[in-house]
Amino acid sequence: MAIPVVQLGTGNVGVHALRALITNPAFDLKGVWVSSDAKAGKDAAELAGLSDATGVLASTDLDAVLATGPQCAVYNALADNRLPEALEDYRRVLAAGINVVGSGPVFLQYPWQVIPEELIKPIEDAAREGNSSVFVNGIDPGFANDLLPLALAGTCQNIQQIRCMEIVDYATYDSAAVMFDVMGFGKPLDEIPMLLQPGVLSLAWGSVVRQLAAGLGVSLDSVAQEYVRVPAPEDFDIASGHIPKGSAAALRFEVFGMVNGDPVVVLEHVTRLREDLCPDWPQPAQHGGSYRIEITGEPSYAMDVCLSSRKGDHNHAGLVATAMRVVNAIPAVVAAPPGIVTTLDLPLITGKGLYLPG
């Protein structure tokens, strides 16, 4: 029997999730929540770029959408710049007895020792009240730095370090809010954006290093972070807007999980807006970008994951993968015990039912 679902948010990630909920017979779309009046009243198919109408109309009324009787909600609303509101959305959905899979806030991937207990408790209480589960994941944070590295680690005799890297050109990523407001691209170097405020990197990607450590059975002493920004050599434009000369055009950061002074688990991002910037920084395995996992141990590993798509570039492929990581987890999350569940808790999510002939 198809699982009744609702889609919450239809932006860069949500549009791909919505398309899957409409086209995959494993799901029965009941409602769509949007934040824009311009999208309200539109058929879900139109929002997903599909031709056959579904009869499901988007609404800005979250309560009305939740009242349609879903077993699971897919939460892809932008959360990074509205964290209190996003956490309240999750609390409301869970308390209503509806399971949730989502792409953010990213710290919910593994929140323990990452965010204060007073932020975790309302989510856990709501899940108990509603007998519901929540799973937040994607590609990074997500399968590129939890499922894949831990699978490789399971073949090792010993491990000294796991490093997970994203090396990507973000020039085609079309979201001014993320690129300019959150990440600070196109801004003066002395203007510190949200992502680089003290402790925020460790908040956002601390979930990655904490979960990897938990998977290794290691207790971290601390989580540290560092970053460097590089200015644009000249004016140029990206999908999200204009990058003035001298403003931030490249960013490299690391989040370290420390044990006895050693970085045992490391999350690193190398983000450029042009491929010719910072040639001395790590380079991707393919044009545009890739994800890299490096394990130092016995044996050691270096694995590059290269995404592509017949419908767009590497950034498009990453958005699809982010959406499908959580959509394909819906049956497992619905079956999971109540609470916050992680990759460490769920069974292996495979491509069951996704084969599409030539």
Nearest to 2 by CA among 329, 357, 338, 331: 331
Predicted structure pTM score: 0.95
pLDDT for 84 equals 94
Q: CA dist 310 to 316, 319, 326, Å? A: 10, 13, 21
pLDDT for 241 equals 98
pLDDT, block means (10 residues), the chain with 358 residues: 98 98 98 97 98 98 98 94 94 99 96 97 98 98 97 99 98 94 97 95 94 98 97 98 98 98 98 98 97 99 97 95 99 99 97 92
Strands 72-75 and 99-102: parallel
Nearest to 65 by CA among 39, 87, 103: 39
CATH number at residue 73: 3.40.50.720
Chain-centroid distance of CA 238 in Å reads 22
The range of the structural domain enclosing residue 237 comes to 143-306
Q: Is residue 349 part of a domain?
A: no
Q: Are residues 253 and 194 in the same domain?
A: yes
Cis status of the peptide bond prior to 299, with omega within 30 of 0: yes
Q: Are residues 148 and 127 in the same domain?
A: no
Q: Are residues 156 and 106 in the same domain?
A: no
CA distance 298 to 107: 31
pLDDT for 81 equals 80
Q: Are residues 232 and 133 in the same domain?
A: no
Instruction: Please give the structure tokens belonging to residue 301.
Output: 């590993």
Q: Are residues 124 and 162 in the same domain?
A: no
Nearest to 45 by CA among 56, 37, 33, 34: 56
Q: Are residues 48 and 154 in the same domain?
A: no
Q: Are residues 85 and 43 in the same domain?
A: yes
pLDDT for 78 equals 87
Q: Are residues 263 and 150 in the same domain?
A: yes
Q: Are residues 148 and 259 in the same domain?
A: yes
Q: Are residues 265 and 289 in the same domain?
A: yes
